[in-house]
Structure 1
């Protein structure tokens, strides 16, 4: 039975891996299992919602790799922090924006299969997201009232996520930040159970294929 840890690598790659072995597997997993299918969806009629369903997993995941911590029971926190890493802004409202996107896009897709009624999507916008707010009587934005709507450009989201991924990979491969590298190793070894061997399948290949 051909058991692989990623499209290009068998489990032998992580039996006693170097740091770059782990980076190779990480890159292979995300490029081939996530980004390639997302690109196909974005180039398919009506594929944007399915593409966003997959892409939303990046923010929580990348924060786990960058921090070296487990996101279990901390999904919202990790999503917001990861989103702010990808779509970095000096604006004080970026975390509020990330919180709204978590609620109306990520949770809508994860729990209801669709984004909430406050989300519109269009590829015409120059940015990945536009958030609108109610206005005060004097015409200023009332940012404390919560968002009125989110306008989402799935193609721009994909481009932003992929660009962040490339930059992150570059930092790992050059080992310019040892703290970042150590955090990555901790998460990779935990997620892939490095050193524990392949999963045990309690049947022969013939039994599995229904030939026994």
Structure 2
């Protein structure tokens, strides 16, 4: 029985894959299974939280592909890494903000299906995220304290992720960095199980399709 490995490619694409084949499947999977559905949700009233549920998975995942390392037991660390790469690692306090976004947005959505009470979302904000912190007596922001509030613009978040994804795909296809390519291929080895036997489904095709 034929099966697809991504929306537009079947299993033959990965039988003896070239680097281009691997990039094709990776790109097609993210566009077809995550970004496309997220864009559909963003077009509908009430779809913002569901779109964020899909797209907050990008940050941890892209850190795996960009480092070639396994995130098992290090989900928060990899999320912060990926978020910082996506939304300007040079910005002051970006990692601190990423930890709060991990806690209140990513984990809220993943664990309870809801954003935590500290999060609001609005399409009005000019930036993807606004994180508010308490102030010290001298008037400076206390970045050591928990965030007082987070406002996220789901559309801006999507746009930021897409800019990063498009650049990453372009860099892989152009071969601009051997380190980037090597890390991508290591991640593929960790995650995709290439060369392993196919999954065993314990029934005939007729039984599977209800014909027997």
- CA distances 1:93-144 after superposition (whole Å, capped 9, x unpaired): 1110000000111111111111111111111011000011122344332322
- CA distances 1:18-73 after superposition (whole Å, capped 9, x unpaired): 00000000010000111000000000110000000000100000000001111111
Question: 1:119-130 maps to which residues of 2 (within 5 A)?
Answer: 119-130=119-130
- CA distances 1:146-167 after superposition (whole Å, capped 9, x unpaired): 2110010000000000110000
Relative contact order, CA 8 A, sep 6+: which one is greater? 1
Aligned counterpart, 1:11: 11
Residue 196 of structure 1 and its aligned partner are, at CA, apart by 2.0
Aligned counterpart, 1:107: 107
**TM-score for both structures, normalised by structure 1:** 0.96
The answer for unaligned runs of 5 or more in structure 2 is none
Aligned counterpart, 1:62: 62
8 Å CA contact 1:15–1:197 kept in 2: the answer is: no
Aligned counterpart, 1:46: 46
8 Å CA contact 2:52–2:154 kept in 1: the answer is: yes
Aligned counterpart, 1:143: 143
The question of 1:210 aligning with 2:210 is answered yes
Residue 187 of structure 1 and its aligned partner are, at CA, apart by 1.1
Q: Alignment RMSD, CA only? A: 1.2
Rounded to whole Å, the distance in 2 between the matches of 1:68 and 1:141 is 35
8 Å CA contact 1:132–1:150 kept in 2: the answer is: yes
- Kindly report structure 1 stretches of 4+ aligned residues shifted beyond 6 Å: none
SS across alignment from 2:114: coil
Residue 186 of structure 1 and its aligned partner are, at CA, apart by 1.4
Rounded to whole Å, the distance in 2 between the matches of 1:141 and 1:110 is 29
Aligned counterpart, 1:190: 190
Which deviates further from its counterpart, 20-29 or 179-188? 179-188
Rounded to whole Å, the distance in 2 between the matches of 1:186 and 1:199 is 22
8 Å CA contact 2:79–2:102 kept in 1: the answer is: yes
Rounded to whole Å, the distance in 2 between the matches of 1:89 and 1:132 is 19
The question of 1:171 aligning with 2:200 is answered no
Rounded to whole Å, the distance in 2 between the matches of 1:186 and 1:144 is 35
Which deviates further from its counterpart, 136-145 or 172-181? 136-145
